[in-house]
């Protein structure tokens, strides 16, 4: 899977090139900030018109990761939809695709700042979750070890700019998993304040690439 393996607290984890995070011992796939329905939400509110294909691309990515990891539990770390109305307006083929992915496995929606979780789609709905000593929440706090999302971090090397994981000894911030999500540079003061001096950035793409977190 061309992933990057590391430890956080008691857990041995793998950052995936897609932006997902896999915990083999728990058969757990974690994704954050899918922002499904962003093009629909922008059009509904009179914003920039984007090609309405982000749901297909994001669901393809998720389908591939579930198949490759054989995950039994999928945990979505908030902002799974661009807003709750976008969840209600999900096209029927996309809704059926998502329901097929959910079938036969545990599925947890963690609340984000854009959505409180698409209740009608089923699954568990939590403000945050704790599994084997690791906390999973949308926005990072002072309570660690934790895994979060929200900031859509990105970083660059000469010739390559990509969404990235940020990680240190006590926390991991996941990149946005969805399409049309943009990003916040890793040297932004909010991210620099959260991460320890020895933090790493792991760039996504065809393979994961780890480097010291640009500040």
Residues in contact with 81: Cβ distance below 8 Å, sequence separation at least 6, in sequence order:
34, 35, 36, 37, 87, 90, 114, 115, 118
Question: Which carries the bigger pLDDT value, residue 55 or residue 200?
Answer: 200
Overall number of domains in the chain? 1
pLDDT at 48 over 60: no
**What local confidence, expressed as pLDDT, does residue 52 receive?**
55
165-to-26, 88, 100, 144 alpha-carbon distances in Å: 20, 30, 28, 17
Q: For a pLDDT cut of 90, what percent of the chain falls above it?
A: 65
Domain, as residue range, for 30: 4-212
**Mean of all residue pLDDT scores within the chain:** 88
Query: CA 146, 147, 151: angle at the middle one, nearest 5?
Result: 120
The label of the residue with tokens 């990761």 reads 65
Kindly state the DSSP code that residue 170 receives in the 8-state scheme.
S
Q: What is the pLDDT of residues 152-208, one digit of tens each?
A: 999 998 888 999 999 999 999 999 998 767 789 999 999 999 999 999 999 999 999
- CATH number at 168 reads 3.60.21
| pLDDT at position 49 over 50 | no
| 101 Cβ contact list (under 8 Å, min separation 6) | 59, 62, 63, 66, 74
Q: What is the pLDDT of residues 96-142, one digit of tens each?
A: 999 999 999 999 999 988 666 666 778 898 999 999 999 999 999 98
């Amino acid at each position: 899977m061309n992933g990057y393996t590391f430890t956080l607290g008691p857990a041995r984890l793998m950052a995936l090139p897609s932006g997902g995070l896999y915990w083999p011992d728990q058969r757990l796939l974690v994704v954050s900030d899918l922002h499904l329905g962003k093009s629909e939400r922008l059009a509904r509110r009179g914003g920039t018109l984007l090609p309405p294909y982000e749901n297909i691309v994001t669901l393809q990515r998720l389908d591939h990761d579930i198949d490759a990891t054989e995950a039994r539990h999928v945990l979505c770390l908030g902002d799974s939809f661009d807003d709750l109305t976008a969840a209600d307006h999900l096209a029927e083929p996309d809704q059926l695709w998502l329901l097929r992915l959910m079938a036969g496995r545990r599925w947890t929606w963690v609340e984000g700042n854009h959505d409180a979780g698409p209740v009608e789609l089923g699954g568990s709905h939590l403000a945050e979750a704790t599994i084997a000593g690791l906390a999973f929440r949308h926005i990072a706090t002072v309570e660690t070890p934790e895994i979060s999302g929200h900031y859509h971090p990105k970083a660059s090397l000469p010739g390559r700019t990509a969404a990235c994981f940020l990680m240190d000894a006590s926390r991991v911030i996941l990149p946005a998993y969805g399409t049309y999500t943009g990003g916040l540079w890793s040297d932004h003061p909010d991210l620099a304040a959260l991460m320890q001096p020895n933090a790493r950035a792991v760039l996504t793409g065809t393979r994961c690439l780890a480097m010291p977190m640009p500040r």
